[in-house]
Amino acid sequence: MTEDWDDPPESEGITRGPEEALEREIARSKALKVERLQLRDQVATLQKEVEQLTAENRSLQDTLAQTGTAIRNPAAPDPKARTPRPMVPRSWAWSLLIFNLLALGILLIFLLGR
């Protein structure tokens, strides 16, 4: 964490005295203390949030453990119900494919015959 401490340009070439430098250092020190206190507050609120989320996670895991046995062992479903039936019979799909290929062939014959 290296920061360049840029001194503000001195006005009109007058060198600042040790009092001004001391005041600047005091102001920087106060700003750093305020920032440190704000960071401590943020850490405290985040720790509280982590504790709340941990408690919520534990309660959800307990609920899942209680209901998990019922979910893992459901009643065996009917094998016919598990396989979906096609909406259209397979023979109908083949007949549509043949019809479309014939229509395409006829259009190509008419277009190339010109």
Per-domain residue ranges for the chain?
Answer: 16-72
Q: How confident is the model over 62-98, as pLDDT tens digits?
A: 888 888 665 665 566 665 566 666 676 778 888 899 9
Are 37 and 29 in contact, with CB atoms under 8 Å apart? no
Question: Which class for 24: exposed (0-12), middle (13-18), buried (19 or more C-beta within 10 A)?
Answer: middle
Q: How confident is the model over 29-40, as pLDDT tens digits?
A: 999 999 999 999
**What does the block give as tokens for 42?**
């943020």
pTM of the predicted structure, to 2 decimals: 0.42
d(CA 67, CA 65): 6
d(CA 52, CA 80): 47
